[in-house]
Amino acid sequence: MVSATDTGLERIAAAFAASSGDAALMPYLRGGVPDVEAWDQSRNSSQWNLVLSSGASQAESNGFQGTPSILVQGPNGQQALEGFGLEEIRSAIQQVS
């Protein structure tokens, strides 16, 4: 059962536990996917395998363990953020600029 104090992750996990297969995705899709059938065909295509594996490798190499994750990149390097405060973001931008 989902309660008002559950986090978004807990709510998503509960939706998947209560539904079979991809049925838990439907509430999210209805909110912004105009053609669910085309989206479903695309997401099951192997065309995304390289993109997804590359993204997963980059995320792991930057120490990311979930979303949202922020990587600030500039001419002087890159910096993975551990928090999302405005001052941390500003500092990271200054360091890589």
**Residue extents of the structural domains in the chain:** 8-44, 63-96
pLDDT band at residue 82 under the 50/70/90 scheme: confident
Buried b (16+ CB within 10 A) or exposed e, 24-39: bbeeeeeeeeeeeeee
Q: What percent of the chain has pLDDT over 90?
A: 24
Measured between alpha carbons, how far is 21 from 37 in angstroms, rounded to an integer? 16
Higher-confidence position of 29 and 64: 64
pLDDT given for residue 84 in this prediction? 83
pTM over 0.85: no
Task: State the average pLDDT over residues 37-44.
Answer: 82
